[in-house]
Structure 1
Amino acid sequence: MTKFEDYLEGIVNIYHQYSVRVGHADTLSKGELGQLITREMANILKQSKDQSSIDKIFQDLDADRDAQVNFEEFVNLVFTVLLTTHDNLHKPC
């Protein structure tokens, strides 16, 4: 497996690590998303550790308004974080 493929698999595995509720094993609740953000994205989303920020992120991601974030909706967060990271890497020191 290539390094890129490893990274992609890692994102999927982290998503599944937090989507553990019985009966909803492939979606994230607001609490699960909050845990994922605070544990896995702490350095990237520093300002998003408080509950109101997590509530806003959850609301923005939950496109179908079913009170859960599925993998496709979660990928939007990954996409946004990836773009921000890319932009930050190109900023002058």
Structure 2
Amino acid sequence: MSDTSQAKEKLASDFRAVMEDIDALMTATTNKADGEVKALRARIQDRLSGAKDKLLDAQHEALQRAKDAAVATDDYVHANPWQAIGAAAAVGLAIGVLIGRR
């Protein structure tokens, strides 16, 4: 997993944890609410539900894009095996040169 993927997963995990904490707080303060606080609580719950839905949609979209990219890469490599081998060799050479400089 790349650093970017790890960072995105950590962000999503942290976001989920914050949403769960907010949800728990909202549940704990249910009995202590008066008119304005009840309205605020309802608005926060609506926004929290929307945020959860958007996060799930973003996760599904990211997963679908990753699957599509994997399929496209697999198709390309099967259609052009020698070009793929050449590209991999060039990347390996570049990495070797960069590591050799240190």
Q: Which has the higher strand share?
A: 1
Per the normalisation by structure 1, the TM-score is 0.31
Per the normalisation by structure 2, the TM-score is 0.29
Larger Rg: 2
